[in-house]
């Protein structure tokens, strides 16, 4: 680790940090990445890569063989016996185990010459630069991709919030063939379940709620259909948990340090947008650094988060208000073309202008009349 030959140091070796390291290396910079863990690194998440995520991975040169995951072509909302389904306007999504995605990113980083330092503890920012053990590195850019509880964020004084709302997520995988061509989002009274097909014989089940004590086995009582399907299925992984938050920071960069991924803010996992945001942030940061203007990244980061944050608030409103939720999902089921436009907006394949038409107006009238 010679500081004289390192342009960029990335702290955090999850998908966000690896994506940043790859994007910056592709711009021609020397990059070193540090993480205290060993790959592949797992984390509780929904594991659905939306079409925009796959586009970002391709931009990073990461090829994801479809055989390593399970392609799906849309999303289905389920509330009791009501189902509303829609397909993506173009492309497909991929259910992919987090560990598989991480390994693909590690291999790509190795392939293009990123210096990967796993099992490295005690990395911290100081006035002199980046302290790694007994060595001080002085890169041109430090990237903080060290997660929701980012140490670098606090050290750099970037922890001031614009807003924050926190919930809890738990995930387990089951050995069972996917029963739907869609990723399913099941809505219960106090929680939601994401069902993501991740292999021809495996699904991931992710629970989201405001209750830190609620676990999958008890939550399934709210979802009799899913409970019946999983009754004979064997769990293939232990239940794991994580905090999920809708969080926005006042700033995500300062001097020669930039935050990325969950360290830079996040949206609630109900949106399924976490990985996509991290991958796209990595590309934006590389462009801004190459242009010599981190303020460009600051502006682009805020613009990137605007739509997912709005969708997060909308979906969380449905999660809190059962009567409204039931009316909306029933309306989506009755008018699938409106749900298709909503899904296109949600996944970044349409704008709010595209959503505003007579179908939406009729949909609004029907909601008010119901």
Shared-domain flag, residues 148 and 18: yes
How confident is the model over 339-350, as a mean pLDDT?
Answer: 87
How confident is the model over 169-193, as a mean pLDDT?
Answer: 97
Which tokens belong to 40? 């592949």
CATH number of the domain enclosing 226: 3.30.9.100
Shared-domain flag, residues 301 and 188: no
Question: CA–CA separation, 337 vs 358, rounded Å?
Answer: 11
Mean pLDDT lowest among 14-18, 35-39, 120-124, 212-216: 120-124
Residue 331 confidence (pLDDT) above 80: yes
Element (H, E) at 71: strand 70-72
Query: Closest by alpha carbon to 17, among 133, 125, 162, 117?
Result: 117
Write the DSSP string, 140-192: SEEEE---TT-HHHHHTT---EEEEEEEEEEEEEEES----SSEEEEE-SSEE
pLDDT-derived band of residue 349, with 50, 70 and 90 as boundaries? Answer: confident
Write the DSSP string, 240-290: EEEEEEEEEES-SEETTEEE-GGGGEE--GGG--HHHHHHHHHHHHHHHHH
State which residues form the domain around 8: 3-69+97-163+247-315
pLDDT-derived band of residue 369, with 50, 70 and 90 as boundaries? Answer: low
pLDDT-derived band of residue 366, with 50, 70 and 90 as boundaries? Answer: low
- Residue 104's contacts (CB-CB under 8 Å, 6 or more residues apart) are 62, 63, 64, 68
Q: pLDDT by residue (tens digit) across 135-165?
A: 999 999 999 999 999 999 999 999 888 878 9
Q: pLDDT by residue (tens digit) across 27-83?
A: 999 999 999 999 999 998 889 999 999 999 999 999 998 889 999 999 999 999 999
How confident is the model over 302-317, as a mean pLDDT?
Answer: 95
Is residue 20, in this structure, part of any structural domain at all? yes
Shared-domain flag, residues 9 and 129: yes
Element (H, E) at 133: none
Query: Closest by alpha carbon to 24, among 140, 127, 118?
Result: 140
pLDDT-derived band of residue 210, with 50, 70 and 90 as boundaries? Answer: very high
Question: Cβ-count burial of 15 within 10 angstroms (0-12 exposed, 13-18 middle, 19+ buried)?
Answer: buried
Question: CA–CA separation, 205 vs 315, rounded Å?
Answer: 19
Question: CA–CA separation, 309 vs 55, rounded Å?
Answer: 21
Is residue 182, in this structure, part of any structural domain at all? yes
How confident is the model over 94-116, as a mean pLDDT?
Answer: 98
Last residue of a domain, one of 315, 339, 359: 315
Residue 360 confidence (pLDDT) above 80: no
How confident is the model over 218-224, as a mean pLDDT?
Answer: 96
Last residue of a domain, one of 243, 266, 286: 243
Is residue 86, in this structure, part of any structural domain at all? no
Q: What is the pLDDT of residue 2?
A: 44
List Cα–Cα distances, 302 to 60, 153, 162, 218, in angstroms: 22, 17, 11, 38
Domain count within the chain: 3
Using DSSP's 3-state secondary structure scheme, residue 70 falls into strand
Is residue 90, in this structure, part of any structural domain at all? no
Residue 4 confidence (pLDDT) above 80: no
Is residue 81, in this structure, part of any structural domain at all? no
pLDDT-derived band of residue 358, with 50, 70 and 90 as boundaries? Answer: very low
Is residue 88, in this structure, part of any structural domain at all? no
Shared-domain flag, residues 37 and 149: yes
Residue 20 confidence (pLDDT) above 60: yes
Residue 113 confidence (pLDDT) above 70: yes
Judge whether 50 and 182 are in contact, CB under 8 Å: no
Is residue 89, in this structure, part of any structural domain at all? no
pLDDT-derived band of residue 127, with 50, 70 and 90 as boundaries? Answer: confident
Is the model more confident about 184 or about 349?
184
Question: CA–CA separation, 48 vs 163, rounded Å?
Answer: 26
pLDDT-derived band of residue 213, with 50, 70 and 90 as boundaries? Answer: very high
Residue 354 confidence (pLDDT) above 70: no
Shared-domain flag, residues 41 and 135: yes
Shared-domain flag, residues 131 and 256: yes
pLDDT-derived band of residue 126, with 50, 70 and 90 as boundaries? Answer: confident
Shared-domain flag, residues 57 and 183: no
Mean pLDDT taken over the chain: 93
How confident is the model over 181-203, as a mean pLDDT?
Answer: 97
pLDDT-derived band of residue 88, with 50, 70 and 90 as boundaries? Answer: very high
List Cα–Cα distances, 149 to 129, 152, 259, 263, in angstroms: 21, 9, 12, 7
Judge whether 53 and 277 are in contact, CB under 8 Å: no
Shared-domain flag, residues 11 and 103: yes
How confident is the model over 188-209, as a mean pLDDT?
Answer: 97
Q: What is the pLDDT of residue 300?
A: 98
Using DSSP's 3-state secondary structure scheme, residue 238 falls into coil
Shared-domain flag, residues 221 and 122: no
pLDDT-derived band of residue 271, with 50, 70 and 90 as boundaries? Answer: very high
Q: What is the pLDDT of residue 3?
A: 47
Shared-domain flag, residues 64 and 141: yes
Shared-domain flag, residues 232 and 141: no
List Cα–Cα distances, 209 to 4, 170, 221, 370, in angstroms: 48, 9, 14, 27
Is residue 87, in this structure, part of any structural domain at all? no
Using DSSP's 3-state secondary structure scheme, residue 354 falls into helix
Taken in order 205, 207, 213, 217, is the CA torsion positive or negative? negative
Shared-domain flag, residues 137 and 170: no
70-72: strand order across its sheet: 48-49, 93-95, 70-72
Q: At what angle do helices 294-320 and 322-334 cross, to 10 degrees?
A: 100
Q: Give the Cα-Cα-Cα angle 303, 185, 198 (nearest 5 degrees).
A: 90
Q: List the alpha helices (DSSP H) in 27-135.
A: 51-59, 98-112
Last residue of a domain, one of 243, 274, 299: 243
Residue 367 confidence (pLDDT) above 60: no
Residue 285 confidence (pLDDT) above 90: yes
Is the model more confident about 44 or about 367?
44
């Amino acid at each position: 680790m010679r500081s004289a030959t390192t342009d960029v140091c990335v702290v955090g070796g999850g998908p966000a940090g690896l994506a940043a390291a790859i994007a910056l290396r592709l711009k021609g910079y020397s990059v070193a990445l540090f993480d205290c863990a060993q790959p592949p690194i797992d984390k509780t998440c929904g594991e659905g890569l939306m079409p925009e995520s796959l586009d970002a991975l391709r931009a990073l040169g990461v090829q994801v063989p479809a055989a390593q995951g399970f392609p799906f072509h849309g999303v289905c909302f389920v509330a009791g016996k009501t189902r509303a389904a829609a397909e993506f306007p173009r492309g497909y999504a991929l259910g992919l185990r987090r560990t598989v995605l991480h390994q693909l990113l590690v291999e790509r980083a190795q392939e293009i010459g990123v210096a990967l330092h796993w099992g490295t503890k005690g990395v911290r920012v100081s006035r002199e630069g980046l302290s790694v053990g007994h060595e001080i590195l002085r890169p041109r850019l430090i990237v903080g991709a060290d997660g929701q509880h980012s140490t670098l964020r606090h050290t750099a004084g970037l922890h001031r919030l614009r807003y924050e709302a926190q919930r809890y997520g738990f995930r387990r995988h089951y050995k069972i063939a996917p029963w739907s061509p869609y990723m399913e989002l099941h809505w219960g009274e106090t929680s939601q379940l994401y069902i993501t097909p991740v292999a021809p014989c495996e699904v991931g089940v992710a629970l989201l709620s405001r209750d830190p004590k609620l676990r999958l086995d008890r939550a399934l009582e709210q979802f009799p259909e899913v409970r019946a399907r999983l009754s004979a299925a064997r769990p293939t992984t232990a239940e794991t948990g994580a905090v999920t938050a809708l969080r926005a920071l006042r700033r995500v960069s300062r001097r020669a340090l930039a935050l990325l991924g969950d360290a830079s803010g996040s949206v609630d996992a109900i949106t399924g947008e976490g990985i996509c945001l991290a991958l796209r942030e990595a590309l934006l940061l590389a462009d801004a650094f190459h242009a010599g203007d981190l303020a460009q990244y600051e502006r682009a980061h805020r613009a990137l988060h605007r739509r997912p944050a709005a969708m997060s608030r909308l979906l969380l409103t449905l999660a809190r208000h059962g009567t409204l939720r039931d009316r909306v999902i029933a309306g989506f089921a009755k008018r699938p073309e409106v749900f298709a436009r909503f899904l296109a907006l949600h996944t970044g394949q349409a704008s709010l202008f595209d959503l505003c038409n007579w179908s939406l107006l009729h949909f609004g009238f029907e909601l008010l009349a119901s």
